[in-house]
Amino acid sequence: MEKEKYYVNIGTGEISQMEYQNNDEFVIYASMEDIALLRSKMENMHGASFDSFIRAHIPIVPYHNDTANDEYDDNLTEAYRMVYELGDNQTKAHIKSMGILSDNHM
């Protein structure tokens, strides 16, 4: 499986082989299968974010019972873990400094 260099910005959902503007938050080396899985996690985050937005406008659903928020958080954590695992040394150091992954994820 050949791995290529990609630039990733989780906040904007960008994954690109070309560096431009602010898409270079993280640098990873990944196969096409890795990229497909990472895109899937980011798309799941977007869907859960939209569901959470809808829930925010329905006041009878308490936040702590919000599966959309839980799904978003789970997918976000999985995306960061995956970027950490595929990342170069600078990416790994950046994610580690953010403190969003527990030690058992690194």
Q: What is the pLDDT along the chain (106 residues), one digit of tens a residue?
A: 789 999 999 888 889 999 888 777 899 999 999 999 999 988 877 654 444 444 454 555 555 555 556 677 788 889 999 999 999 999 999 999 988 887 655 5
- Sequence-distant contacts of 60-68: CB under 8 A, at least 24 apart: none
Neighbour tally for 2: CB within 10 Å: 7
Measured between alpha carbons, how far is residue 18 from residues 4, 14, 29, 84 in Å? 11, 11, 13, 20
**Residue 15 DSSP SS3:** strand
**What's the predicted TM-score (pTM) here?**
0.74
Integer CA distances (angstroms), 65 to 38, 56, 61, in order: 27, 12, 7
